[in-house]
Every structure is written in structure tokens, then in C-alpha cells.
Amino acid sequence: MTYIRSYAVFQRIPRRQMACVLITMFLTTIGMSDAHASYCVYVGKNLTVDGSVFLGGYGDEPSSHWLEIVPRREYPAGTTIFVGATEAASYPGRLIEIPQSLVTFRYITMNYSAYAGFPAPLTNGGLNEHHVAGRDVWSPSRQELRDLTPRPQTGLNYSDLSRIAMERARTAREAVEIVGELIETYGYATYGGNSHFFADADEGWVFINFAGGRKLWAAQRVGPDEVRVSRPGYIGEIPNNYRTHADFRGSPNLMSFAVEQGWFDPNSGKPFNVNHVYGDGKLRHKEVQLIEDRLKEKAKHGKVALRDVMSAVRTTEVTRETAGYGQVAHLRKDVPAELGILWVAGAPASAAPFIPFRLGVTDVPPEFQRHRYLTEGEAAKFQDIDQRGVESTRYAFHVYKRLLYLVQEHQEKFLPEVTEALEAFESRLITSQSEVEETARTLLDAGKPELVRKYLTYYSHTEAMNGLHLAESLAESLEVRTKVLFGIRQTGSVGASKK
């Protein structure tokens, strides 16, 4: 490795930053220029088989992951929350308090325990009771802008913004307005640049929050006839009237600050290109081109289905071991709040099935809740007595990771059969959704919302466990055959396993 040349350098790095350093090194070697890479797929409603909007993707994080149904809550006036970054962040920060909303909405999310000095639990979005979906995606700011970041920095971090958007937004456009106002009021605590993608049943919005501590942000509408893949998130040319334009939004200083820095000449006659001025200048990366072209071609010949978006999230062309989970929000109009649906893979989707969780579900199986495996800080303490019950169960994230490693050791041989099994399992679930929804609607029409919630919870719990059993069975089979055909590669050995 050329990035850290001696053990002495490692010794000078705070332990809480070590995981961030190591994952950055790894991701750089595989062609990504930032540790928090992430990935997002949007398909507009005019391009889909049923007129719905799809928003899928995942986040790249090395820590533990768990599924959570966050209930709707009410707070007394004067309640505050802590937001921001700590001194352990790659850009050291200081936490601040901001007001909490009096009411926060119900939402489904995948949480994780560690990234770059930001307080846990962390989230990249999810799906809320108004059927607004959110995804977080890496979006590197130009180096000069990163270098301007104050030390310590203050403001809301990417996870704070994602969580608050899920708690407060009724539409994708409102999510943009909420996040923009928060940044302008309190600032943004960066890890080097980030983007959000918000979507509802009508449209999507790309939102870029820039490093530098100057409260810079930009947003662009993505419409019903578009496919947009973010890896990283980007926005190209925007008009001068972006503040009042129906398809754009941004901070008041978005253009003026660039002029002050000499990064943009308003007299050049050239349009203001957000990515060229403030980002990496690359716009769409090669992975984006690949997936976008594939989905656009599909839209020309029969339109895009749920299965196509699942495949776009699962494909090993972009989904690696670093992907902490997979999600696809299926956003439809005129659907009761309880029936909003988020398909969730509890680990990288190449080794985990997508399970449907609807907003009427009241909780998740213990196996999918927070466990100690890969959770920050757990190795230094004994088991919390209140967590012993959950810890006595298998951890879905660990089960799927085991299957993933078995597949990756001999991918050409094992990946096709594992993918076939996962897709067959999911196809049965996709087919059954019309019956699930009809049953739930019948109960709603009969005025029995509690029965709806119990039914949906039972259904999702049952299928989540069925998916977990499938992964365990596949892993058992692959381990036996790996030992017989290849042997288990030992740590530190070279050539111990034949490929």
C-alpha cells in the first residue's frame, strides 16, 4: 500500500478513525475516490410497467446494519436533538443542538453503527408514512472546497438530514425544502461531500450538499420520463433563475461564492455547471452509464419492472462486499399509508433476498434487529443484560455475510446458482403482493386497522425468516462443496485455494 508507509503513521491515527482510514484505502484500490461510495437508482413513473416510481440502492459502510420501524412520535415544545460530527470525524466537528419537530412521521430504515466520527445510529434514508423515499449517495466536493471546511465544523451531517427528511417530509419536493432550510440555518457537517435522492410517486429530486462550511447546496428535479443512477450524486447545468425555477433549487450563494473564488466567470457566456464548478467534474461515472443504459433500453421494450430495479441493485458490477444492504422503494399513488412498501435486503443483495416490509408493519424479527457483530464499541465491553434475548438469536446480517464470502471465494461457480435461488424466492413474493394488498385493504375497509397491522407484521416476519432459512441452507451447501472441491483458504496463505 502506498497510502500509509509505516506502522509509525498508523500509531498516530486515533483508533476511532482507523476503520474509516482502512475502508478508504480499500475503496480507492477498487476505483472509488471516496469511502462512503453508495449507489442509487431512480426510474420515473412513465417508464415503469405499473406507473409507479422506483428508488433503489444501498450504502457502503463497514459496520453492523439492522432494520428498524421507527414509529410516529409527538414531542413537547422545546425538545431539542444533537446533530453534527465529533472530533473523531475526518473533518473534526462539534455537536450542536437544534429544535425537534413537534410531530415526526413513521418510517422504515436500515441503521448502522459507525462512519467517520458521526454519532450512531446512522441512516441513509428509507420510506416514510407519506411514501417519501430517501437515499444517500457519496458526492465528492472539489478539493479546494474541502480544504475550506472549518475545524471544528458544525451543522447537520448527512445522516441527520436523511433522518429528518423521513421524519418531516410529505413530498420529495418538501424534503428538498426542509433539508435546504436546515443547511442554511445551521450548516452542514461534511465528510467531503454528499448527495441525497428523494422521491415520491410523482417525481424525484437530486440534492447535493457541498463541503467547505459555506452552506452551499443545489437540487434538481428528476421527472417521470427519466432514469437517473447516482454513483456519485451529481447535477450538471442549472439556469441563473434556479431559485425560482420549477426544476431547480439551491442556496442563495450557490453562484456568487463560485464567482468570488474565481471558479466561475459569469461573463464567459458558459452555463453554470454545478458538477464542474463544485464537484469532481466527471458527471456520470462508468457504472452509472452502464446501469442507466440498461434500464433505458428496458424501458423502450416493455418498460421497467420491480425485478429490473432489484437486479440493478444486486448486480456485482456495482454491488460489492462494501454494500451494507439493499433497498427498493415501490412508490405508487392513491395507496393507504399502511401499504407503502420498501423491499429490503439485509446485507449485500448479491447474497440476501429482498423482503417486502410495509409501513403497517409494527416491528421486525429479532434476527434483523441490532446485534453486537461489527457494532462499534461492542468488543470493549461485556454483554448488556437487556440485549441477551436478541443476542441469543442468529443475526441476519451475519448469516448473509457468510453466504456472501462463500460466493465471492468462487464466484464464477457459485454466484449463478445463488442468484437463481434468490430471484426465485423473490418472484414468489412479488407474485403474492396483490393478494397481500387485497387482504389488507379488505381489513381497512372493514374498519380494522389493528388487524391490518398484525397481518402485515406476521406476513413480513414469516417471509423474512423464510429468506433467512434460504440463505442458511445455501451457505451450508456452499461450505460443504467448497471444502470438498477447493478447500478453505487460510488467513495469510497464498494459493491455498484453487479458483
pLDDT at residue 94, rounded to an integer:
98
Greatest Cα-to-Cα distance within the chain, rounded to the nearest angstrom = 70
pLDDT at residue 14, rounded to an integer:
42
pLDDT band at 284; cut points 50, 70, 90: confident
pLDDT at residue 393, rounded to an integer:
97
pLDDT at residue 156, rounded to an integer:
98
Residue 312 has pLDDT above 60, yes or no: yes
Residue 19 has pLDDT above 70, yes or no: no
Pairing of strands 272-273, 248-250: unpaired
* 117 or 473, greater pLDDT: 473
Classify the phi-psi angles of 267: left when phi > 0, otherwise alpha if psi is within -120 to 50, otherwise beta: alpha
Across the chain, mean pLDDT equals 91
- Residue ranges of domains in the chain, CATH in brackets: 7-334 (3.60.60)
pLDDT at residue 419, rounded to an integer:
98
Tens digits of per-residue pLDDT, 229-261?
A: 999 999 999 999 999 999 999 999 999 999 999
**Distance from C-alpha of 281 to C-alpha of 106, rounded to nearest angstrom:** 38
The SS3 call for residue 171 is coil
pLDDT at residue 4, rounded to an integer:
32
pLDDT at residue 198, rounded to an integer:
98
pLDDT at residue 37, rounded to an integer:
73
pLDDT at residue 63, rounded to an integer:
95
pLDDT band at 192; cut points 50, 70, 90: very high
pLDDT at residue 319, rounded to an integer:
85
Tens digits of per-residue pLDDT, 447-465?
A: 999 999 999 999 999 999 9
Residues in contact with 368: Cβ distance below 8 Å, sequence separation at least 6, in sequence order: 66, 67, 346, 396, 464
| C-alpha gyration radius of the chain | 22
Residue 205, phi then psi, degrees to nearest 5: -140, 130
Residue 101 has pLDDT above 80, yes or no: yes
pLDDT at residue 116, rounded to an integer:
84
* 29 or 394, greater pLDDT: 394
Given a contact cutoff of 8 angstroms between Cβ atoms, the answer to whether 126 and 107 are in contact is yes
pLDDT band at 485; cut points 50, 70, 90: very high
Residue 348 has pLDDT above 50, yes or no: yes
Tens digits of per-residue pLDDT, 163-190?
A: 999 999 999 999 999 999 999 999 999 9
Q: What is the mean pLDDT of residues 46-64?
A: 96
Residues in contact with 20: Cβ distance below 8 Å, sequence separation at least 6, in sequence order: 35, 90, 115, 116, 117
Q: What is the mean pLDDT of residues 121-141?
A: 97
Q: Which of 228, 293, 298, 305 is nearest to 51 (CA)?
A: 305
